């Protein structure tokens, strides 16, 4: 709750300075926070039903979408796309994941990063980036 309130106040303070890019920054951070909320509500070890976890993700996505709709004056289609992106991204990032092997390939730019590790950290964020750019344009 405290992280969500802090995130809201930061978005309100920087919305005018960042403009449409503020929506993208908020969306990415809200999705990462949603993954943490999903993990807190994960009761897989105790029961088989996922209704509780999905409900928490949907409520979290709805709160973020309503906030974005008020702050950045989104259209209905944009708000719906952002809601789906929040829910999908939070659910994907909240799932257990691990990297079993690392393939190092030199990019020729002075650093090498394994594609598996990049996928580990960026899982679930691409749909949010697409929805954020779609609403920012």
- What pLDDT sits at residue 89? 93
pTM: 0.82
- What pLDDT sits at residue 107? 67
- What pLDDT sits at residue 62? 96
Q: Cα–Cα–Cα angle for 20, 24, 30, nearest 5°?
A: 135
**89-118 burial: b if 16+ Cβ within 10 Å, else e:** bbbbbbeeeeeeeeeeeeeeeeeeeeeeee
Residue 106, beta-bridge partner list: 112
Contact in structure between 27 and 18 (CB atoms under 8 Å): no
Closest to 22 measured CA to CA, from 77, 71, 64: 71
- What pLDDT sits at residue 113? 77
Report residues of the chain scoring pLDDT below 70: 1, 107
What would the 3-class secondary structure string for 68-81 be?
Answer: HHHHHCCCHHHHHH
């Amino acid at each position: 709750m405290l992280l969500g309130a802090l995130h809201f106040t930061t978005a309100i303070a920087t919305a005018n300075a960042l403009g449409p890019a503020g929506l993208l920054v908020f969306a990415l951070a809200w999705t990462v926070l949603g993954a943490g909320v999903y993990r807190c509500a994960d009761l897989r070890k105790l029961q088989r039903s996922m209704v509780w976890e999905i409900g928490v993700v949907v409520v979290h996505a709805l709160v973020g979408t309503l906030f974005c709709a008020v702050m950045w004056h989104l259209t209905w289609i944009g708000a719906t796309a952002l809601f789906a992106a929040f829910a999908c991204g939070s659910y994907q990032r909240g799932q257990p994941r691990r990297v079993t092997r690392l393939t190092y390939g030199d990019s020729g730019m002075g650093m090498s990063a394994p594609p598996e590790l990049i996928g580990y950290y960026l899982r679930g964020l691409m749909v949010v980036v697409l929805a954020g750019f779609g609403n920012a344009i």
